Amino acid sequence: MTTSDIAQGPFQVYPQSVPQSVSVKKGTGQDKNARPLSLSGHVGFDSLPHQLVNKSTCQGFCFNILCIGETGIGKSTLMDTLFNTNFENFESSHFEPKVKLRAQTYDLQESNVRLKLTIVNTVGFGDQMNKQESYQHVVDYIDTQFESYLQEELKIKRSLHNYHDSRIHACLYFIAPSGHSLKSLDLVTMKKLDSKVNIIPVIAKADTISKSELHKFKIKIMSELVSNGVQIYQFPTDDETVSKINTAMNGILPFAVVGSSEEVKIGNKMVKARQYPWGVVQVENENHCDFVKLREMLICVNMEDLREQTHTRHYELYRRCKLEEMGFTDTNPESKPVSLQETYEAKRHEFLGDLQRREEEMRQMFVQRVKEKETELKEAERELQGKFEQLKRLHSEEKSKLDEKRRSLEDEINTFSKKKAATELLQGQSFNTNANLKKDKDRKKSPEMEAKDVNLTCDEATNQNHNCCFRNL
Amino acid sequence: MMMPPPAMPAAFQVEKPVPGPGMGDFSYVGIDAILEQMRRKAMKQGFELNIMVVGQSGLGKSTLMNTLFKSKVSRKSVQATSQEKIPKTIDIKSVSHDIEEKGVRMKLTVIDTPGFGDQINNENCWQPIMKFINAQYEQYLQEEININRKKRIPDSRVHCCIYFIPPTGHCLRPLDVEFMRRLSKVVNIVPVIAKADTLTLEERDFFKQKIREELRANGIDVYPQKEFDEDAEDRMINDKIREMIPFAVVGSDQEYQVNGRRLLGRKTKWGTIEVENIAHCEFAYLRDLLIRTHMENIKDITSSIHYEVYRVRRLNENNTAIAHEGEDTHWGD
């Protein structure tokens, strides 16, 4: 709503033409229970498209282009030329280990239309020695954008009209101008992408091919695409305003383009061109290349259709596959319609049940392990106990042995000391008796004997203590 | 349905949006051609509009609809009713028409509610209407969460509900307040003073003022709702409208000769009331609001606000229903 809408009162009354009864079109695919009606005057809802457009203009538009092509094939230059600006680009190296995707978003404005343009470039595409994984990164990127849109759509509290749509609306596939045919990398990549994105193949650096070669090249490319079942984007031909031009353009695919951000003076105008010693290739000259046609088709005529196809065909396909993969269906085995909620509930129960079961399992396992460990430990304990007992036994055996020995030793000592004592006693006694005997003998015996005896006894006595002598005396 | 957000692989670098250098120069890119493309697409697809009319019988609902769309769109014109009996309960009847103007095709559905406010006991008269509106939201929601979705989901949601206030000249009745209070939360309500030719201009102004006060006092937000104004411009325009609601309308599908022109009007002994003359009644303002300027906005608010509120409530309800199985959930308190 703009201030210019305030004319009389708060509304702008749209110019009222003479009321005419408008012919009624029998509903083309309309509801059967809606009856066509003729109006007897000007109602004014013909301003609806205008209102719709106004609203969209306020919101701004969003367009995302993916450029796939080898390094150095001219993707960035073409984007610059297409949108007539100088996007900040820098040359990429040829030594990327794997394909990366670099997305840059720009805000463009032309008259009162604001466009949020996102250009996604493949960096390092076709540079690797082994190109088997090249297309996978691109496919993953596209899927990621679909996924985040799907996430947003499935949220409970969502804001779809504020959502920055990052899904790829158009994919420009740059074909190297070899003049012969498509490379196998091209075919494989395009085959993988044709159900996910609108593919528009372009022949890059078309100024290296002559006109006749170009014609043959285009035919070869299209036939190869068809024979390999690659579905490239067809410009829509159902709307009569644009069907003629679109059909014509469909026959000129793929577009042979030349990009240039440099300007050359031709006549008295500066035009975008590439200057060679043998001539100047003018980008916007339709005789030189198909750049103008590409711009026309991509932006001026079919931008909205590209966005719509992305949303209604590619995104819906992705969504359907994703949800089916997760196990959701619209009809259960009895072919009664099942709501998403019911399926979700069922899945949730299943999942919870599963979770519980697994928890139980784990618990059982845990208990079992504990038991096992316990028995193990018990075994070890028992073993240890046994060993201990054994050692103890040994020890006590030894001890008792030692005790016995000690006892026997003691006994021996006792016996010995007894013997010793006895021997000493005996000796003492025997000496006394000897001494007494000696005395008697002395009285009886001759003095010779006495002398002998005395000598003996004296000898003995001298051998012994003085006792006997003293005793005798 | 919670899925864990996918982790962004490190290979993707997204740079912040850079305000591109102005495009001017002399070369034309053609971005603004998208407006034309959108217009074309809209014309091809056609539009849908669902209007509900609510009010006691005899207030001129059918006539007003016919006047608005300059053709016999009302239920009465479609169904040949031998006698007009006031139904015992509130009926909800909807009739669809395909109309076209200057290449713009529209499927218009008029939803009538005969029996509203006509019983002796009108408590809970808003319930069947609330149920109907919610049923339309439900139908849309079910279509939306299907796996195999239709290319274009048929939109049967009620975009706008025109509420007819009888021209008592005093203030709103409890029935009016109750209905509008409950329904303004789920649908865009446009209140109009019916049969406004029974009020003089002073009475009309007084009545309108009273009504506005009462709406404010009861916290009833009718269309255009203050909280959905998008920017200052919007607010300015909508403020002017809010100063004028409710529109005092007179409907007629009969043409009379006035000053040499054939105009829609009501002929009485004391003069002819011209329906489209803003000096006589505010029908033209209502028509402009509803059709010529704010129709897209009305549909927008329905789909992005009222429907989303319903959806959030519905999806949350399912979650809590699991937690409290068997509990009774109440709708629209």
Q: What's the rounded mean pLDDT across residues B228-239?
A: 84
Q: Note the pLDDT of residue B71.
A: 81
Supply the mean pLDDT for chain B. 80
Handedness of CA A14, A18, A19, A20 (dihedral sign): negative
Contact status, residue B22 vs residue A75, Cβ threshold 8 Å:
no
Q: Which long-range contacts (CB under 8 A, 24 or more apart) does A146-153 make?
A: A146/A196, A146/A314, A146/A315, A146/A318, A146/A319, A147/A322, A147/B6, A148/B5, A148/B6, A149/A315, A150/A315, A150/A318, A150/A319, A150/A322, A151/B3, A151/B5
pLDDT category of residue A172 using cuts at 50, 70 and 90: very high
Q: Note the pLDDT of residue A442.
A: 64
pLDDT category of residue B137 using cuts at 50, 70 and 90: very high
Of A288, A218, A272, A251, the C-alpha closest to A83 is A272
Q: Which of B241, B292, B294 sits opposite A14 (nearest CB)?
A: B292
> What percent of chain A shows pLDDT beyond 90?
20
pLDDT of residue A447 exceeding 70, the answer is no
Decide which of 3.30.2320.20, 3.40.50.300, 3.30.465.10, 3.30.565.10 is the CATH code for B43-72+87-319.
Answer: 3.40.50.300
Contact status, residue A117 vs residue A164, Cβ threshold 8 Å:
no
The residue that leads in pLDDT, A91 or B135, is B135
Lowest mean pLDDT of A263-267, A344-348, B150-154, name the range: A344-348
The residue that leads in pLDDT, A24 or A350, is A350
Q: How far is A348 from chain B (nearest CA, A)?
A: 10
Q: What's the rounded mean pLDDT across residues A408-420?
A: 89
Cα(A318)–Cα(A105) distance, integer angstroms = 24
Q: Please provide residue A346's backbone torsions phi and psi, each rounded to the nearest 5 degrees.
A: -55, -45
Across A130-134, A163-167, A448-452, B122-126, the highest mean pLDDT is recorded for: A163-167
Angstrom CA distances, B124 to A197, B175, B306, stand at 52, 10, 22
Q: Which residues contact A238 (CB under 8 A, 6 or more apart)?
A: none
Q: Note the pLDDT of residue A79.
A: 87
Tokens linked to A304: 């909205």
Tokens linked to B107: 């499927």
Of B281, B247, B246, the C-alpha closest to B264 is B281
Q: What's the rounded mean pLDDT across residues B310-319?
A: 81
pLDDT of residue B330 exceeding 50, the answer is no
pLDDT of residue A381 exceeding 90, the answer is yes
Q: Which residues contact B78 (CB under 8 A, 6 or more apart)?
A: A35, B72, B95
Across B47-56, B63-72, B260-269, B315-324, the highest mean pLDDT is recorded for: B47-56
pLDDT digits (tens, 9 = 90+) for A109-153: 878 888 888 999 888 887 877 777 788 888 999 999 999 998 888
Suggest the residue from B288, B306, B325 to mutate for an interface test with chain A (most A CBs closer than 10 A). B288
Contact status, residue B42 vs residue A49, Cβ threshold 8 Å:
yes
Q: What single letter denotes the amino acid at residue A253?
A: L
Q: Which of B44, B103, B142 sits opposite A339 (nearest CB)?
A: B142
pLDDT category of residue B92 using cuts at 50, 70 and 90: confident
Q: What length is written for chain A?
A: 473
| Yes or no, beta carbons of A40 and B244 under 8 Å apart | no
- The interface pTM score, or ipTM, of the predicted complex is 0.77
Supply the mean pLDDT for chain A. 79
* Surface-to-core class of residue B25, CB atoms within 10 Å of its CB (0-12 exposed, 13-18 middle, 19+ buried): exposed
| Yes or no, beta carbons of B41 and A157 under 8 Å apart | no
Lowest mean pLDDT of A24-33, A99-108, A170-179, name the range: A24-33
Q: How far is A382 from chain B (nearest CA, A)?
A: 53
DSSP at B293: I
Computed on alpha carbons and rounded to an integer, the radius of gyration of chain B in Å comes to: 23
Q: What single letter denotes the amino acid at residue A9?
A: G
CA B306 to chain centre: 11
- Partners of A3 on chain B (C-beta within 8 Å) are 233, 236
pLDDT of residue A27 exceeding 70, the answer is no
Suggest the residue from A51, A89, A139 to mutate for an interface test with chain B (most B CBs closer than 10 A). A51
Cβ of residue A304 closer than 8 Å to a chain B Cβ: yes
Tokens linked to A297: 């088709």
Q: Which of B6, B291, B308 sits opposite A144 (nearest CB)?
A: B6
Q: Which residues contact A96 (CB under 8 A, 6 or more apart)?
A: A123, A124, A127, A128
Query: Where are the domains positioned within chain B?
Result: 43-72+87-319
Lowest mean pLDDT of A91-95, A350-354, B255-259, name the range: A91-95
Q: Note the pLDDT of residue A329.
A: 62
| Yes or no, beta carbons of A105 and B96 under 8 Å apart | no
Suggest the residue from A8, A54, A78, A84 to mutate for an interface test with chain B (most B CBs closer than 10 A). A84
Neighbours of B47 (CB within 10 A): 21
Q: What's the rounded mean pLDDT across residues A2-17?
A: 38
pLDDT digits (tens, 9 = 90+) for A178-223: 878 888 888 888 998 988 999 999 998 888 888 888 888 999 999 9
> What percent of chain A shows pLDDT beyond 70?
80
Cβ of residue A271 closer than 8 Å to a chain B Cβ: no
DSSP at A300: I
DSSP at A447: H
The residue that leads in pLDDT, B84 or A282, is A282
pLDDT digits (tens, 9 = 90+) for A280-292: 888 888 888 888 8
pLDDT category of residue A24 using cuts at 50, 70 and 90: very low
pLDDT of residue A369 exceeding 60, the answer is yes
* Surface-to-core class of residue B265, CB atoms within 10 Å of its CB (0-12 exposed, 13-18 middle, 19+ buried): buried
Q: Which residue of B has its CA nearest to A105?
A: B17
Q: What's the rounded mean pLDDT across residues A30-51?
A: 72
A·B CB contacts under 8 A: 290
Suggest the residue from B8, B31, B144 to mutate for an interface test with chain A (most A CBs closer than 10 A). B31
Q: Which of B18, B237, B285 sits opposite A6 (nearest CB)?
A: B237
Q: Which of B34, B68, B296 sits opposite A113 (nearest CB)?
A: B34
Strand pairing report for B93-101 and B104-112: antiparallel
Task: Tell me the β-bridge partners of B264.
Answer: B255
